Amino acid sequence: MNFNKHYLAGLAMVSAVALCAFTGPKPKTDPVYDNLDKSVKPGDNFFLYANGGWIKRNPIPNAYSSWGIGNVVGEDIRERLRNINEAALKANAPKGSTTQKIGDFYFSGLDTIGIERAGLNPIKAQLDMIDRAQDVKGILAATAYVGAYGVRTMLGARVGQDDKNSVKMLVQMSQGGLGLPNRDYYFKTDARTTKIRTDYTTNHLPTMLKLSGWDEAKATKGAESIYKIEKFLADSNRKLEDMRDPYRNYNKMPLAKLNALTPAINWSEQFRLMEYKPVDTVIVGQPEYLRAVNKALTTFSVDDWKAYLRWKVLSAYAPYLNKAFDDESFRFSGKVLAGRKEQLPRIKRVTDTENQLMGELLGQLFVKEYFPQTSKVRYNQMVEAMRQSYREHIAKLDWMSAATKQKALTKLNAIHPKVGYPDKWKDYSTLDIDRVSYAGNVMRARHWAYLNNVNKLGKPVDHSEWGMTPQTYNASYSPTNNEITLPAAQFMIPGVKDADVDDAVVYGYAAASTIGHEITHGFDDEGRQYDAKGNLKSWWTKQDSAKFTQRAEMLVQQFNGYVVLDSLHINGKATLGENIADLGGIVLGIDAFKKTKQYKEGKKINGLTPMQRFFLGYALGWLGHTRDESLANQILTDVHSPGFLRVNGPFTDVPEFYTAFGIKKGDKMWLDPSQRVKIW
């Protein structure tokens, strides 16, 4: 399970932020002071006080739905990856080598003449198989075939750890089947959502089908079929907040019970077609969804399903086909859903796609040049500083019993940090990349990733494997592995040399908002239900669990009260885990920072005290602003609160924040002490 830290999209280059005490001269460029908007009172809107100056100077570019620190860093990383690609393009490397694969993928993505000439040929085999289907059996065979090449259909399956026995790898099945972002888009009646849904049904779907060769009448009828199936499936998709209950979303069953749940599907045959080894047990996340799929297979016609699967293939590959497909895909997903005004330049899009599909190939070359071993050591040291702060917090808790504290410490001590880059890289030797077809390369890379996952069935868990690349501006916590992943790129502060970054900013920006945040996920409302070995198993006393839930509910209500856009409120229950992790990371980071030389000396930099700079450093991690369309989408689909509330929300619960900036009753961010949430 991946808990994304940053809502800002984008890749990032790495910077070895100095973790030792800052002793250098006053910085010429101050990563926090230079962003201030002093016309805003810290106690009224701290996010804008901290970041408003930068926001005023940096409007959102037309090609983006948001613009902030992740995007700025992303531009830097793209440039460095472009240099790697350009070198590979000219290298004339031997077939099968890393350099050859990188260079040829890059060439194929930029070969717009070849892409136009190819038309629909790269996906012809998939479309032909769908067209040949005569009955439900044929539809299921086509579903298995296209799913193995990265097409998301109504049957979602993968191999993952058994939540209650984390050393076992089992087939996991979950809800899906939709073309709009989630179930709410099919049922909400507000003007914004209705407009999106109308465009989808009357414009986007029929346009894509017409581009694939269907005439007006057939495309119109096909669009109606697609939407009928999707809305039917959406009705049995669980809501965002309900997907965060690990017990309710864990339904382990033998194959015979799965067959009984969906009698229209012979799962032994289906798994064979999906290239799985013999399967005897599965974990079903949402049984009611599979019942709905079964009913849909016997309710809707074969022609309805053919239109549905055709759309799924077109949607999955449109960005890699000719300009007409690419443009229409962007018009809806980029403009209508996200509010972007234009596409990124093609060279950036190709680089991003390559990084998504072959990230560790690029990563191997990236870390050689940009992330020395010494940096890996530094970040491991900061992880231990934050772990020690958490130990001290647990020991001082007045609401947790000694028995639960001991188990919490056992879990905390067992958390495994993955820092910088993998010690063992993925083996891409079986991945074939050439210069013939961009979509073909994407298809083979997706199939390689599919087989890489499928082949984990029945094998020991590979704890050395990473779920993200070193050049990714993100971080994660895995409850079944009880580990945090901190990629090299995550720690960069754009435009500032490492040596010029003081500890106060580092402890806010890196220790609190990243390391402490991810560690706290092991103890949030969901992560706390897993033990030290990564098993879904109760280890809390009933009394301690009730006390935790009571405190967490205060945070739910706090965030429920925030209105973001029009009538859209934060979903406090859906975002609870991230909000707990944000608050936890801040309070742990504060106490870790208090042990540093800079804090103890108390010297000001640019008129700011060390503790003020800590809070500004944390706010720097959420520097940015977002278009309304993208913000609305985030509220409905994302378990992360918008960036400005990941600053203003938890800060109102932290006593040191009030002291550092002189926040008083009457200020907009003031919360009475009795209303402030304290969990960790």
Compute φ and ψ for 281, nearest 5 degrees.
-140, 140
Range of the domain at 583: 33-74+372-425+465-675
Q: Assess whether 41 and 179 both reside in one domain.
A: no
Q: Assess whether 413 and 497 both reside in one domain.
A: yes
CB-based contact 583:653 (threshold 8 Å): yes
pLDDT at 663 over 60: yes
* Mean pLDDT, rounded, for 394-415: 98
- pLDDT score recorded for residue 3: 37
Convert the pLDDT of each residue in 635-658 to its tens digit.
999 999 999 999 999 999 999 999
Q: Decide if 229 is inside a domain.
A: yes
Q: Assess whether 509 and 609 both reside in one domain.
A: yes
Instruction: Pick the closest to residue 74 from 5, 6, 13, 4 (CA basis).
Output: 13
Q: How confident is the model at residue 4 (pLDDT cuts 50, 70, 90)?
A: very low
Instruction: Pick the closest to residue 491 from 6, 3, 2, 1 (CA basis).
Output: 6
* Mean pLDDT, rounded, for 517-523: 98
pLDDT at 281 over 70: yes
Q: What global pTM score does this model have?
A: 0.92
Convert the pLDDT of each residue in 362-402 to its tens digit.
998 888 877 777 778 878 999 999 999 999 999 999 999 99
Q: Assess whether 569 and 661 both reside in one domain.
A: yes
Q: How confident is the model at residue 499 (pLDDT cuts 50, 70, 90)?
A: low
pLDDT at 5 over 80: no
Angle at alpha carbon of residue 328, lines to 177 and 239, rounded to 5°: 30
pLDDT at 7 over 50: no
- CA contacts within 13 A on the Cβ side of 128: 6
State the Rg of the chain over Cα. 25
pLDDT at 552 over 70: yes
Mark which of 320, 342, 359 sits at the end of a domain: 320
Q: Assess whether 229 and 303 both reside in one domain.
A: yes
Q: Assess whether 290 and 412 both reside in one domain.
A: no
Convert the pLDDT of each residue in 206-259 to its tens digit.
999 999 999 999 999 999 999 999 999 999 999 999 999 999 999 999 999 999
Q: Assess whether 291 and 377 both reside in one domain.
A: no
Q: Decide if 394 is inside a domain.
A: yes
Q: Decide if 644 is inside a domain.
A: yes
- CATH number of 636's domain: 3.40.390.10
Rounded to 10 degrees, the C-alpha dihedral 538/541/543/549 comes to -30
Q: What percent of the chain has pLDDT over 90?
A: 90
Q: Assess whether 583 and 658 both reside in one domain.
A: yes
Q: Tally Cβ neighbours within 10 Å of residue 617.
A: 28
Q: Which token pair is 155?
A: 């049957």
- pLDDT score recorded for residue 506: 93
Q: Which token pair is 636?
A: 């409905």
* Mean pLDDT, rounded, for 71-96: 93
Q: How confident is the model at residue 15 (pLDDT cuts 50, 70, 90)?
A: very low
Q: Decide if 613 is inside a domain.
A: yes
Number of domains in the chain: 2
Q: Assess whether 470 and 619 both reside in one domain.
A: yes
Q: Decide if 95 is inside a domain.
A: no
Mark which of 255, 288, 320 sits at the end of a domain: 320
Please give the Cα distance from 455 to 258 (Å, whole number).
21
Q: Assess whether 274 and 193 both reside in one domain.
A: yes
- CATH number of 200's domain: 1.10.1380.10
* Mean pLDDT, rounded, for 499-523: 94
Q: Decide if 128 is inside a domain.
A: no
Q: Decide if 222 is inside a domain.
A: yes
Q: Assess whether 622 and 552 both reside in one domain.
A: yes
- pLDDT score recorded for residue 377: 83
Q: Decide if 49 is inside a domain.
A: yes
* Mean pLDDT, rounded, for 600-610: 97
pLDDT at 20 over 70: no
Q: Assess whether 491 and 619 both reside in one domain.
A: yes
State the average pLDDT for the chain.
94
Mark which of 320, 354, 385 sits at the end of a domain: 320
CB-based contact 519:390 (threshold 8 Å): yes
Helix axes 98-110, 69-90, angle to 10 degrees: 110
